[in-house]
Amino acid sequence: MELELRAKITSLEEITKKLEELGAKKLGETELTDYYFGELALYQKLGYSFWIRIRVEGDKIGLAYKGSTGRDGVYDEFEQELQDLDTSIAILTKMGLENEITVHKKRTSYKIGDISIEIDDLGEKGKFIEAERVSEDGDKSRLFELFKSVGIPESDTFERGLITLFLEEKGSPFADWIKN
């Protein structure tokens, strides 16, 4: 399972300085475009929500399934590389899936131990930090500890996905289903 924790940040410089002081290794910077596909009737039929995400990163195109586990910030996830963006979008659309939201971001990635850290600049939506680890135990305490170590109080953190927040913000009917 993928365990995630997020927070909106105001001082990028302060957070990156503290990450480096903790020994986090900067892995690089990239620009991403994520296309999220879903289908409300299928959610109703299955009884749970999921996203099919196409991610474009440079010349790489990836397909991911992100499925609900019923716990905020905990996902089932599978990924696969694709060859062509337009064909991939056409296939999902022909299957009846809707591209409900598309997100462009500039990302800086770090790693500390088994925790991956992403700092995303989403333009006018703001800057966000996400800490993630893969574990079957479902324990997020190390993620909360990391955020505390870089000066993010627990009261400023959230476990729900950014996409959920953005869907609620725009009044999307998908917001009623995408809960984590």
The mean pLDDT of 2-16, rounded to a whole number, is 91
Contact 115, 133 (CB under 8 A): yes
Q: Is 73 helix (H, G, I), strand (E, B) or coil?
A: coil
Q: What are phi and psi of 175, to 5 degrees?
A: -60, -25
User: 65 pLDDT exceeds 90?
Assistant: yes
Which residues make beta-bridge pairs with 55? Answer: 34, 62
CB within 8 A of 88, min separation 6: which ones?
54, 61, 63, 82
- CA 8 from chain centre, in angstroms, equals 13
pLDDT tens digits for 81-135? 999 999 999 999 999 999 999 999 999 999 999 999 999 999 999 999 999 998 8
pLDDT tens digits for 33-64? 999 999 999 999 988 889 999 999 999 999 99
2-175: CATH topology is Hypothetical Protein Pfu-838710-001 (2.40.320)
- Output the pLDDT for position 73: 65
The DSSP code sequence of 61-92 is: EEEEEEEE-SSTTEEEEEEEEES-HHHHHHHH
- Output the pLDDT for position 179: 61
Per domain, the residue ranges of the chain are: 2-175
Alpha carbon distance 180, 178 (integer Å): 6
pLDDT tens digits for 66-78? 887 777 667 788 9
Contact 101, 118 (CB under 8 A): no
- Output the pLDDT for position 18: 96
